[in-house]
Amino acid sequence: MKTIHLEVEDSKVDVVLNIIQNLKENIVSKYEIINDNIENKDFINISQQSLEKVWDNKEDSEYDKFL
């Protein structure tokens, strides 16, 4: 089984869903709509970098072994 990741503009989601729904039953086993906007993606990327800098240091390494 393979997974295909598609990024579709909001205005085109209905078109893509219509195509998926009209495929034969055994073509697509599962699909999911995830609403990600650019602001959320940017925030996650920025936050992740900051978190790694704060968390991945020598002082915190003592606590990491308990996780």
The larger pLDDT score, comparing residue 24 to residue 40, is at 24
Please choose, from the candidates 46, 4, 48, 42, the residue with its C-alpha nearest in 3D space to the C-alpha of residue 23. Answer: 4
What would the pLDDT profile of 26-48 be if each residue is shown by its tens digit? 888 888 888 777 777 777 777 77
Report the share of the chain in percent with pLDDT over 70: 75
The Cα angle at residue 38 between residues 4 and 46, in degrees rounded to 5? 105
pLDDT higher than 90, residue 51: no
Contact 67, 55 (CB under 8 A): no
